Each structure stands twice: as structure tokens, then as C-alpha cells.
Structure 1
Amino acid sequence: MTRFLLTKELGRLAKWLRILGFDTAYFTENNPGTLMIQALRDNRTILTRNRRLPESRGIRIIQLKSETLKEQLQEVLTGLNIALDVRHLFTRCIICNEELVAVDRKKIKERVPEYVYKTQRNFITCPQCHRIYWQGTHWGNVQGILKEVQ
């Protein structure tokens, strides 16, 4: 699976690629040299809207033209010929990019709203930041957006 490194102007896209299950690093510095080193070291494809980013041998750089999130998602998915797999949805933390792991619901009872605990059976958590996720209304929202971009 393709691993991405997104430049600072693509923060929303970084979050959405993580929602889709892609290993997506987010680079917020203003240093193209450090960006290139990280992409090369981590074997990542750079996604950017920056037209002045220099090309570099051995590093794949994709300059996105789109300004809206949906168009950017379409541009990435079609441009790289990526077929989405719903089994990968919500498998990465949208904050840390770590792979999420299942957690016993009894262990998180005090950490989620009472209504959520009563209505949800399955929970996953980020082993790094400990954020908790569950299949709420956002699941349907994501699937709706995916239908629009595929």
C-alpha cells in the first residue's frame, strides 16, 4: 500500500487519507530539504500543492491541482489508480497515524459518553495517543463522501 507524506497545506486531505486507512505522514515545516529526506528515508510519496517544490531523484512527488477536499481525494485515487477497500476504513488514528487496535469495552467505559457506551459494542483505540473510536454517525458520512469521489 502506498505511504504518503503531505505538505502543510494539505492537512484536511491527510486526515481523510488516514480515515481511508493510508499510512499518511503530515509535514508542517517550511524546509523542502527535510521533506525530501523524510520521504526518502520513510519510502513515502509526497503529495503537495506547492508548485515550487524541487524534483528529486528517487522521490515520487505528486502536485495536486485541486483545491477542494473531494477533488483532491479523486485526484489522488484516480491518479494513483487506487481502489478503496472498506475493510481499511478507520484503521488508523486521524491524529497520530498509528494503526488502531481493538479494545475491551469495559476498559473504556469511563472514557466515553454514557450514551455511546450503551449503544456501541465495538471500540478501537490508538496505542499512542489513546484516542477512542467507534462506529458512530461519522461512519455513514464517510461512506457518503466516498461514493461521491469514486
Structure 2
Amino acid sequence: MPRFRFHAELDDLLRPELRGRVFDHRCAESATAKHAIEALGVPHTEVGLVVIDGRSVGLDHLLRDADSLDVYPAAPHEAVAGEPPPRFLADAHLGGLARRLRLLGFDTELAGDASDRTLAGVADGDARILLSRDRELLKHRRVVRGRYVRALDTDGQLREVVRHFTLRGRMRPFTRCLECNAPLRQADRREVADRVPPRIAAGQQAFTLCTGCRRVYWQGSHWQRLRALVDSL
């Protein structure tokens, strides 16, 4: 039967008794590398390289009993000059992460209560990177790019995604609505006077207005806390 060794962070996705060692695993007849790897708990989105007996193979490689596989994680994405910024689709359980990515200026849709098939189709059709803590969702064949988010707290999740997709140099903070994801634009005090408390209208000079839901933003204490978060990344 095929022999497997998972490297680096992929090891953490295996059952405890399989971690940190080489092991044999019986596969279904005509199983591909993708099928076998995912049966062991690792979504294909997490895999960067599969090597069999010193030769790189694709996830569609048909396994043979004599195969010995080394499975390596996907490396952090290296941005190419002129490449458009990535767009994301976060599943319904990652609402905090979605808001944080919007804070950094990234187009991030938050999935509603939809089936895995629907979410995979949306991510594929809109060329979005699917972010989820649901491994079964990420295993869907229509998911081209995705990330199984390891961190449990929102700020940790943000740091993980920023690091993995090398977002630091492509951030445009405070340019996208945290609530609806639409772009923000500059607005003067007169334009928003009837949409903010009088003391805010009188005391603030700079406002931004959501072009979608019309939410108004200004540089209050909450903005300062968010600015500190952005600067810490």
C-alpha cells in the first residue's frame, strides 16, 4: 500500500497517531493523490507539493501500492508586480476575520447560510480565495484557492492570512466598509451632518462615506484602536 509522510504544518492536520512519522495507508482502488491526502484529513488547498520517489506529481496522480509520497504545505504566496490584490470569501463562521480584511482594504465577501457546493461555486466563479475552518468545504473539487484558518481568535486569524498571502505591502487601510464591503469615499461635514451625532459633526474634520450602505466613518477612539492593529501587522 502507498506510504505517506506529511511535512511542516500539514502534520498538524493528521490524526494524532499519524503525526511526525512515515506511515502506510490503504487507499481506494484508482485513488488519486488528492483523494488519498484528503481522506487523511488534509484539504488540497493546503498542499503545495507532492513528491513520489523524488519526482514531483500532480494531485491527479493515480496512486500505486509501491508509491512513497512526501506531502509539503503550500508556500506563502509571492505577489507578482502588477497582480491585482486578492479577493476573499470567508465562510459564515469567520465574520470577524472578514471585517478585519475589509479594514485592510481587501474585497472580502462573507458567506451566508449556503451549502458547501454553493460556496465552492461562488469562490470559483468570482475568483475568490475561500477562507474557512471547515475542512470538508475546502476539499470540494471546485475550490481552486483556499486556506484552512488555524488560529481561533480574530486578530490571530488576520495575522495568519496576512502572512500566508503576503498582504502587508498591498494593504489600503480604511478604504472599504466594514459592514457591507463596498468602497469608501471622502465626504465633507455638511454631507454627513444629519447622519452623525452633533458633537461628532462639530468636532471632526475628516469623514468617509460608504458608497453602498451609506455608513459614515470618522477618526474617533475606535479608529485609533484599529489604526494600532493595522500598524502592528
Q: Do the structures match in fold with TM over 0.5?
A: yes
Distance 1:137 1:64 in 2: 29
Secondary structure of 1:75's counterpart equals helix
Deviating more after overlay: 23-32 vs 5-14: 23-32
State the one-letter code of the partner of 2:201: Y
Per-residue CA deviation, residues 62-102 of structure 1 (Å, 9 max, x unaligned), is 1011101121011101111221566x211111111000112
Do the aligned partners of 1:102 and 1:125 also contact (CA within 8 Å) in 2? yes
How many residue pairs match? The answer is: 148
Aligned to 1:33: 117
Which of 151, 155, 176 does residue 70 from structure 1 map onto? 155
- In structure 1, the residue matched to 2:225 is 141
Counterpart contact for 2:89–2:130, Cα < 8 Å: yes
What is residue 68 of structure 2 aligned with on the other side?
none
Whichever structure has more helix as a proportion of its residues is 1
> For structure 1, which segment, 53-62 or 113-122, has the greater mean C-alpha deviation from structure 2 after superposition?
53-62
2:166 corresponding residue in structure 1 = 81
Structure showing greater radius of gyration is 2
Q: Which residue of 2 aligns with 1:14?
A: 98
- 2-side partners of 1:57 and 1:31: how far apart? 13
Counterpart code for 2:87: R
1:98-150 residue CA offsets vs partner (Å, 9 max, x unmatched): 001122321211211111111111111112211111111122201222344x2
Does the 8 Å contact 1:47/1:63 carry over to 2?
Answer: yes
CA contact (8 A) 2:130 2:147 kept: yes
Say whether 1:116 aligns with 2:200.
Answer: yes
Contact 2:185-2:211 within 8 A present in 1 as well: yes
Paired residue for 2:214, among 117, 124, 130? Answer: 130
SS in 2 for 1:91: coil
Counting aligned pairs with the same residue, the percent is: 35
The TM-score with structure 2 as length reference comes to 0.60
Q: Find 2:146's aligned residue among 52, 61, 78.
A: 61
Give the 3 Å change call, closer, same or farther, for CA 100–60 of structure 1 in structure 2: same
Cα separation, 2, equivalents of 1:36 and 1:112: 39
State the SS of the aligned residue for 1:8. Answer: coil
Q: Is the 8 A contact 1:66 1:75 kept in 2?
A: yes
In structure 2, how many angstroms separate the alpha carbons of the residues matched to 1:56 and 1:118?
54
3-state SS of 2:136 partner:
coil
Contact 2:130 2:143 in 1 (8 A): no
- Over 3 Å counting, the alpha-carbon distance change for 1:146 and 1:101 in structure 2 is closer
- For residues 41 and 31 of structure 1, what CA distance do their matches in structure 2 show? 15
1:55: Cα distance to partner?
3.7
Q: Which runs of 5+ in 2 are unaligned?
A: 1-84
